[in-house]
Chain A
Amino acid sequence: MIVSPSSSSSSSAKTKKAMKKPGLGDQEETKWRTAAQQRIYGRRLIDALRATAPSGPQAVKEAADSALALTARGQSRWSRAILLSRRRPSCKFLLKARRGRMQPKPPPPVLKLGAPASPEGKKVSERLRLLGRLVPGCRKLSAPSLLEEAADYMVALEMQVKTMRALADALSGASLNAAEHAVSDE
């Protein structure tokens, strides 16, 4: 897997990815792997962390996920699901309404691939169900859109992980720095 570490490389990586994966993958990757996105997300994350008095790691995680969903700008189903579930815990209807408005209605909820008569097909459908449970807001989704959402979610998660890691490292580094300074001062 190729990573776009810095701004200059990310643009070149973007073009590389554009050449490699035309279509869906291209959009997603260029969307999520740009430095700009990381920056946006990072800032949002920092703001969220600062805003919420982090009561625990779960709050941090939720803040991080919300920030990620915000960065997605509501174009993907999982991001909308996250946002709506966070802000108002029981507003599923809003989710549906938004889905109807923003996106063309997905095909009727059919998880299975046609007729999974073979045991393989059953495995596949099972796994699709699992995947639907993993990706937020994609439980009842058809196979192709589920896979699409999963791809988008994966890229977003990767970006989130990178950003959080960098933040954590920077924080720890800063703390180390501060500690060192403190130590050296003494």
Chain B
Amino acid sequence: MEKERFFGGGWKSAHAGLLPEVSAFAGDEHLPHSFVGFGWEQPVHGQEAHAQQLESALSSLVSSPSSNAPDGNDSVVIRELIGRLGSICNSGNVSPSSRCHSAHASYYSTPLSSPPKLNLAGADHQRQRMLVNQVAAAPFLADQGFAERAARFSCFGAAEAGQLSRVSSRQSLAKEVAASYAMMAGSSSSPEASSASEKLTAVVAEHNARKRKAAPKGKGKAAAPSSSSAMDPPEASPKIESFIDASKLCELIPLPQEENSDSKRCKAAEAGGADKDAPVKPKTEQNSSDDGNAKPPEPPKDYIHVRARRGQATDSHSLAERVRREKISERMKLLQDLVPGCNKVTGKAVMLDEIINYVQSLQRQVEFLSMKLATLDPQLEFDTETLLSKEMHQVHVPLPQQVLFPLDMATSAFSLAQLPLKLAENPPDSMFSSLQLPPIDHLANLWEDDLRYVVQTGFPQSQEAPFSSGALRAE
């Protein structure tokens, strides 16, 4: 609460201090509008208010260098911006303050009159220290927008705020980002900027659950700004380049911890850029990052997590469809292996044709065999020749090799071994005159795979009957 009041006072003074600058540099009429808008949003949380003031300060600072660009002041201004950003991000960070404070003092030696800002900054010196360390690692702060984004990314990396403050700072930061887009472009696209910021904040508010590494964070941030800049057409490509540079900067900056907030922010930005709904987010984040950075294609990971390959559509529908199609094609491959003679066939329709034919033939075989068994049990006069020939044909077709396993007939082999001989001897047109059920018991004892043997070797010589062999030849 105290902070709030303090910041409120500071904000006012900052505002007062900024206004002349703004008016002086105001090529952007929307600037006061935007940061006033930001300033008035969500005055609930102290850190939010803090953020807003800093935002406005930052935006003005950003715009002022962009408009006039005094070179000597640039770096200093940029450092101040970074410091502000750091203060926004790192609310709640606990670390020794003394050295950073002195360090920051040097950073905050700006010609711009903003003592309240300094005071505000001083309150968050710990974060600034971290920011400073991070920023110091990045020597290329020539481009102010670049530096600004670098600061943002680095502060993302270092943020350890409490959850609420994180959310609020994120939101404010998102707005800030959007605001800076608008300002940097110098275009009167304030509604777009605000809409972009709103979108980002909404997205940020939504996605609060993921962890990401620093590099993808940076990349995501690069993707998000690029995507949101895509949303704002007047914003130029140099901004995108700066974002990408900033992402590289992010990668260079050794971000010590993985932060939920950062990941959330990045994810939110990505998803916001990709504009997806909740269930497809894991896919889309990865996909948008893929698209944004042209990563090498990765295979789909598993059932749920699918990564879009390079050059493929990435909306949720096509992803789900692709998963389905892959499942189906996988099963079709299995079936192809099952069905004999389907290796050469390609195409779903023909394959399905073959499968259907095969299943129908199998079912017909079962019918025939059941008929045969029905005839065997009672003693019907049936065309046993044809049946036998059918079986022979079927036997030969699916069992191309007649493998003899004489050794397998160890157990009940001897009695069974006589069977094939007998079968071989007997001409196939002998009648099944009296087949009673009692023989079945006998057979049941012999019901080993020796029956296979019987089947295979039992009909080496049989006459092929024309009847229905043609129908079965298709198998």
In the complex, per-residue mask of B422-434: 1 if CB is within 8 Å of any chain A CB, else 0: 1100100011111
Q: Is B143 interfacial (CB-CB < 8 Å)?
A: no
B439 near A174 (CB under 8 angstroms)?
Answer: yes
A165 near B403 (CB under 8 angstroms)?
Answer: no
Q: How far is the CB of B383 from chain A (nearest CB, A)?
A: 12
From B356, B384, B398, B454, contact of A130 by CB (8 A)? B356
Q: Which residue of B lies closest to A17 (CB)?
A: B337
In the complex, per-residue mask of B417-452: 1 if CB is within 8 Å of any chain A CB, else 0: 001001100100011111111011011101111111
Q: Which residue of A lies closest to B339 (CB)?
A: A154
Q: Is B391 interfacial (CB-CB < 8 Å)?
A: yes
B328 near A144 (CB under 8 angstroms)?
Answer: yes
B367 near A57 (CB under 8 angstroms)?
Answer: yes
A113 near B325 (CB under 8 angstroms)?
Answer: yes
Taking CB atoms, residues of chain A closer than 8 Å to B408 are 6-8
A8 near B405 (CB under 8 angstroms)?
Answer: yes
Q: How far is the CB of B222 from chain A (nearest CB, A)?
A: 34
In the complex, per-residue mask of A39-63: 1 if CB is within 8 Å of any chain B CB, else 0: 1001100100110001011111101
B352 near A180 (CB under 8 angstroms)?
Answer: no
The answer to whether residues A131 and B356 also contact, given A120-B349, A161-B369 and a CB cut-off of 8 A, is: yes
From B370, B426, B446, B456, contact of A170 by CB (8 A)? B446
Q: How far is the CB of B240 from chain A (nearest CB, A)?
A: 35
Taking CB atoms, residues of chain A closer than 8 Å to B384 are 172
Q: Is B338 interfacial (CB-CB < 8 Å)?
A: yes
A57 near B371 (CB under 8 angstroms)?
Answer: yes
A168 near B369 (CB under 8 angstroms)?
Answer: yes
A175 near B435 (CB under 8 angstroms)?
Answer: yes
In the complex, per-residue mask of B328-369: 1 if CB is within 8 Å of any chain A CB, else 0: 100110110111100000011100110110111011011101
What is the bound-complex CA distance between A180 and B405, given in angstroms?
Answer: 26
What is the bound-complex CA distance between A126 and B334, given in angstroms?
Answer: 20
Q: How far is the CB of A185 from chain B (nearest CB, A)?
A: 12
Taking CB atoms, residues of chain B closer than 8 Å to A120 are 347-349
From B321, B375, B388, B432, contact of A179 by CB (8 A)? B432
What is the bound-complex CA distance between A6 and B370, given in angstroms?
Answer: 23
B366 near A144 (CB under 8 angstroms)?
Answer: no
A151 near B334 (CB under 8 angstroms)?
Answer: yes
Q: B360, B362, B433: which has the most chain A beta carbons within 10 Å?
A: B362
B403 near A5 (CB under 8 angstroms)?
Answer: yes
Q: Which residue of B lies closest to A153 (CB)?
A: B359
Taking CB atoms, residues of chain A closer than 8 Å to B433 are 175, 179, 182
B399 near A5 (CB under 8 angstroms)?
Answer: yes
Q: How far is the CB of B388 from chain A (nearest CB, A)?
A: 7
The answer to whether residues A168 and B440 also contact, given A25-B337, A153-B359, A157-B363 and a CB cut-off of 8 A, is: no
B328 near A168 (CB under 8 angstroms)?
Answer: no
Q: Which residue of B lies closest to A10 (CB)?
A: B449
Taking CB atoms, residues of chain A closer than 8 Å to B436 are 178
Q: A24, A150, A157, A158: which has the most chain B beta carbons within 10 Å?
A: A150
From A57, A113, A162, A172, contact of B370 by CB (8 A)? A57
From A3, A113, A124, contact of B398 by CB (8 A)? A3
17 interchain pairs, CB-CB under 8 A: A5-B403, A25-B337, A42-B447, A42-B451, A60-B374, A127-B352, A150-B335, A154-B362, A157-B362, A164-B370, A165-B365, A166-B455, A167-B451, A169-B458, A170-B446, A171-B443, A179-B434
- 9 additional contacts (CB under 8 A) given A124-B352, A164-B366: A24-B331, A35-B448, A56-B374, A57-B374, A61-B367, A147-B328, A162-B398, A170-B443, A174-B440
List the interface of chain B (C-beta within 8 A of A).
321, 324-325, 327-328, 331-332, 334-335, 337-340, 347-349, 352-353, 355-356, 358-360, 362-363, 365-367, 369-378, 384, 387-388, 391, 394-395, 398-399, 403, 405, 407-408, 419, 422-423, 426, 430-437, 439-440, 442-444, 446-456, 458-459
